[in-house]
Structure 1
Amino acid sequence: MASRLKLFLAATGLAALLEPAFAEPPRAVVELFTSQGCSNCPPADALLVEYSRQPDIVALSFPVNYWDYLGWKDTLAHADFTARQKNYAHARSDRQIFTPQMIVNGKKSCIGSDQVQIEKAIQMTLKGRSALPVDVTIAEQNGMVTVSVLETGETMQREAQVWVLPVLRSQTVPIERGENKGKTVTYANVVRGLKRIGEWHGGSARFEVPVETARGGGDGYVVLLQTSHDDRPSVILGAAKSAGL
């Protein structure tokens, strides 16, 4: 897989931008739907911090707003993240929404603090592979981010959207009221937005977006190649993260 991607990058002139830091595709994208107003969430938030330190994992925090009525308004939450969680539940047809909820590779729902369950979900969604099935790489030059997608022939799904998600690498929040009153919680890779930058229809493709747009007020970003089901997010085929994440 690595050799095929290197040949593609050489042909497109991107190899020089990525060398010598070359990495295999990630084995999982884990999305934690969490809330500062949920007493069960801090252990899951701590686990996501640990996942964020693994180079083969893309770890994302999505703070939701539906527990704000419990006495503390989540300072990082956004209605779009609540909508994403609900859309996942509709796409899976189970309509299960809770915090802390971890979505693995856009497919499996887990309790966000249960590492054993999460690891089982990662293996289940990989279906015997060692990594996500489509290679996605990113390179920055002259104020632009170039996203390169290379199909390896390991997936039957050849229709997906390319998304860029600005993130804050780390955010520590003292919680003054509600169920977590008196606690100070650190969140990793807090998503600040979701921006669709293109459509992928199989094969090799390139997409560009300004670095300023990719970061979007954060200090890093993640790129997802994600399928949809009835216009709702579904299986993630590939992903990449900016340096430092």
Structure 2
Amino acid sequence: MELFTSEGCSSCPSADAALRDLETAQTVPGVEVIALGEHVDYWNRLGWKDAFSAPAYTARQRQYAQGFGTGSYTPQAVVNGRYELVGSRTGELAATVAKAAKAPQATVGLRVRQGRAEVRVQNLPAGTPTAEVLLAITESGLSSQVGRGENAGRLLRHAAVVRQLLPLGRVGADGTFSADQALTLPTAWQRPNLRAVVLVQEVASRHIVGVATAALSE
């Protein structure tokens, strides 16, 4: 589940909390909820600069908005690239996750060792068109004391924040992909709280058809 959020948005903390709860409790039967908090930068001009924001996440949200026929807003949750909804709707989030999980998924392997991520993709769902492979690095346990803007004076606790989102390449015509990616992890990032997440995403529809995740605690 991707959550497009901002520390400058007063309605976003409740969505952060909802996503944290879903990831921690894992209450959707047979489904692993993987949190991807993507902090957009268009709130930064309104009184508070979100230190976790980046133009890349704003651009990614806009890609989704074009496909869904919606505008970009916060907090916006996108589930498997297939469904979008207001990120604070707790009950609806769980139901949407359960629905999205019924779609066929590729086989994705991810192994992290010695500062590298080894990625393998095969068995794409039948009829899958061109797909790209992305590698996200997330960090959990992050918080901010906000000094200005709509959340002035609040201590905000975040769901897992996307620190990096790297394109690795496209799945081949034979439906397979492999990569051995070096990881660049700033020392300020807390290694015990880091995870790697691989996404296999259809280029045209933006549907996510495969996911894998691994801790970076080595």
CA contact (8 A) 1:166 1:216 kept: no
Cα offset, 1:60, TM superposition? 0.5
The counterpart of 1:98, out of the listed 68, 73, 76, is 73
State which drifts further: 43-52 or 142-151: 142-151
Cα offset, 1:206, TM superposition? 2.3
The count of aligned residue pairs is 206
Matched, 1:85 2:56: no
Q: Deviations over 1:174-233 (max 9, x none)?
A: 1111111111111122112221112113544322111x24x567533211111112xxx7
Cα offset, 1:138, TM superposition? 0.7
Match for 2:206: what amino acid? S
Residue 130 of structure 2: aligned partner: 159
- How far apart, in 2, do the equivalents of 1:122 and 1:216 lie? 32
Cα offset, 1:140, TM superposition? 2.5
Alignment of 1:1-245 (within 5 A): 30-53=1-24, 54=26, 56-92=32-68, 94-126=69-101, 128-129=102-103, 133-151=105-123, 154-201=125-172, 202-210=174-182, 212-213=183-184, 215=185, 218=189, 219-229=194-204, 234-243=206-215
Q: Deviations over 1:8-35 (max 9, x none)?
A: xxxxxxxxxxxxxxxxxxxxxx000011
Match for 2:152: what amino acid? K
CA contact (8 A) 1:193 1:216 kept: no
- How far apart, in 2, do the equivalents of 1:237 and 1:38 lie? 31
Match for 1:150: what amino acid? Q
Residue 5 of structure 1: aligned partner: none
Q: In structure 1, list runs of 5 or more residues that go unmatched.
A: 1-29
Tell me, what secondary structure is at the counterpart of 1:136? strand
Identical aligned residues as a percent: 32
Rg comparison, structure with higher value:
1
TM-score (normalised: structure 1):
0.76
The 3 A distance-change label for structure 1 pair 148 and 70 is same
The 3 A distance-change label for structure 1 pair 138 and 216 is farther
CA contact (8 A) 2:170 2:177 kept: no
CA contact (8 A) 2:112 2:216 kept: no
The 3 A distance-change label for structure 1 pair 216 and 165 is farther
TM-score (normalised: structure 2):
0.85
